[in-house]
A and B are shown apart, each in its own frame.
Chain A
């Protein structure tokens, strides 16, 4: 497998705070890479640097050997790297179709046929029948799909997804996971995924990296990473066992942010946590 995107020693310092501390990262062509870590670990800052929204303090990002960091988001988008936002940010004053058209027009500066390309993407994201509506009328899951559709319309090679699953109901979470998988399979994109919903990360990711306090503390197959003592400590603190004991029956199958410590705390004999929604074969793990 060839490496499509590479980050070398990426650091971001905000005053005295090292939000991201020399993180190296490689994304293979066609891979889904999960990025996990506790709140404030620097995941979104890492994304912002890769997407060009903020310049790194040091280090660089290369897409197929070409530097894309340190410029503007436009440079990254033209090169083929686009992000979505954790808190959905549709253009409220544009219809669903127009939202996606903005991506289609400005992503590669190609206004011709933008409407048709946008409609195709809406079809792909199951939003076609919502095309003439304003995004305010969509459910949260719908708006997350719109966020994804707008990014896809820029015709990227690498997609950075910032918590596209968190916050939606279990059925919608499964639908979104399927959509992400088909983005990889049908559109041939490579994906980096920040996600708090552990079952989704476990199922979707080929590989996972774990950030804590700006540093990469673990990397590997999802099942190995969650058993890594450093990872458990990062999520639950050194006295992790106490916290784990207080939540014995994690029965509620809600893939919410709160599920993170619980899933990590499940015994090693059961690598797929109890809160994983049941799903037929075809999963990645």
Chain B
């Protein structure tokens, strides 16, 4: 194992490769219809986006309600690049991602010094302001009537493989960002930003790096989405429920865990198809209800449930579970309120 850094565990590597293999043979084995295969493509895409959101919201504890800004910007920039320059679509995605990352840094560098709810409120403002500007900026977004991309034969089935690759990269990045020494620094910042600074961490620099990565990835996801949909309009790309959907996926799956948001995205995309079909008026309300239930009863979502079951059936020692939960918890107080005050135990 000398080839790999010390923090890469063999089971994690095997798990990722196995998931990739399953993803690779899935359409053939199940004989998926075109429609179903597209559903899976979209799921992969949102797995990537939810994980990238989690780098900010879960790893740093900076919960963003404005990630639609990067998603939409990535989409429209790449669409414009495709229409104007006829580049290969993956190049346009990278351009979209880069512009989204740059934009993220522009608003994020000043706002990231806010912590907790203050940062979250600022991101709501950023998201909404961006949506309004983009709706009226017709030269870029086509205004409310949106933009259509050229339809290429066979593109959608090709996108399945691109989505699988994108998701694999983002899962690997999620793992690296948590397990590496960089990730240890992020956890320290999440717990206590001043104490982290006092032992030599530069919180500003590290938060900016995470924001850049998150913004880039979500921007690429938006660009991918534009290619996938062939048609995009600002209300959908920059909408507040777009931002909320990233939060929901992460919370349902387990915010702050490595793989939880991926599970959340899976559930989210499946559920949305069903709910939009069956209860088009109610589906947002049902999401709200789901969010409340999860936060009340299992703050770490599906991963929290998984940890709990694993401990119950003796697959995980209680100390290990406690450590995992502490790492995932957003907001230092959640981990152990009694330990903070300095009172004698």
Q: Which residues 6-64 of A have a CB within 8 angstroms of B?
A: 51, 53
Binds A, one of B8-16, B118-126, B330-338: B330-338
Question: Known contacts A92-B332, A92-B339, A136-B338; can you find 15 more A-B pairs with CB under 8 A?
Answer: A53-B194, A72-B202, A77-B199, A82-B199, A87-B342, A89-B194, A91-B187, A92-B326, A94-B188, A94-B191, A102-B188, A109-B200, A132-B323, A135-B339, A154-B200
Known: A89-B192, A93-B332, A139-B344. A150 touches B339 (CB 8 A): no
> 1/0 per residue A127-163: CB within 8 Å of B?
0000011111011100100000011011000000000
Chain A-chain B contacts (Cβ-Cβ < 8 Å), number: 118
A105 within 8 A of B: yes
Point out which of A72, A95, A111, A153 has the most chain B C-beta atoms below 10 A from its C-beta.
A72
Establish whether residues A93 and B344, one from each chain, have CB atoms under 8 Å apart when the complex forms: no
Contacts of B202 in A (CB 8 A): 72, 74
- The CA of A87 and the CA of B198, in the complex, are separated in Å by 14
B159 CB to closest chain A CB (Å) equals 38
In this complex, what residue of A is CB-closest to B332? A92
In this complex, what residue of B is CB-closest to A77? B200
Nearest first, the 3 closest Cβ-Cβ pairs linking A and B are A136-B336, A77-B200, A136-B339
Interface of B is mostly: helix
B340 within 8 A of A: yes
Known: A91-B188, A93-B329. A150 touches B342 (CB 8 A): no
A222 within 8 A of B: no
A114 within 8 A of B: yes
- The CA of A102 and the CA of B341, in the complex, are separated in Å by 22
Establish whether residues B191 and A92, one from each chain, have CB atoms under 8 Å apart when the complex forms: yes
B185 within 8 A of A: yes
Establish whether residues A53 and B201, one from each chain, have CB atoms under 8 Å apart when the complex forms: no
A82 CB to closest chain B CB (Å) equals 7
Known: A73-B197, A94-B327. A102 touches B185 (CB 8 A): yes
Known: A93-B190, A135-B339, A136-B339. A101 touches B197 (CB 8 A): no
Establish whether residues B198 and A51, one from each chain, have CB atoms under 8 Å apart when the complex forms: yes
- The CA of A151 and the CA of B199, in the complex, are separated in Å by 7
B158 within 8 A of A: no
B190 CB to closest chain A CB (Å) equals 7
A195 CB to closest chain B CB (Å) equals 15
Establish whether residues B200 and A93, one from each chain, have CB atoms under 8 Å apart when the complex forms: no
- The CA of A168 and the CA of B343, in the complex, are separated in Å by 9
A254 CB to closest chain B CB (Å) equals 12
Establish whether residues B339 and A105, one from each chain, have CB atoms under 8 Å apart when the complex forms: no
Give me 12 A-to-B residue pairs in the complex whose CB atoms sit less than 8 angstroms apart, sorted by A's number. A78-B200, A92-B332, A93-B327, A94-B187, A102-B196, A105-B184, A105-B185, A107-B199, A114-B181, A134-B335, A135-B339, A140-B343
- The CA of A114 and the CA of B181, in the complex, are separated in Å by 9
> 1/0 per residue B301-338: CB within 8 Å of A?
00000000000000000010011001101001001101
- The CA of A138 and the CA of B345, in the complex, are separated in Å by 8
A212 within 8 A of B: no
Known: A89-B192, A91-B188, A106-B185. A73 touches B198 (CB 8 A): yes
A199 within 8 A of B: no
Contacts of A154 in B (CB 8 A): 199-200
A84 CB to closest chain B CB (Å) equals 8
- The CA of A51 and the CA of B343, in the complex, are separated in Å by 25
B22 within 8 A of A: no
B129 within 8 A of A: no
Establish whether residues A92 and B336, one from each chain, have CB atoms under 8 Å apart when the complex forms: yes
Contacts of A179 in B (CB 8 A): none
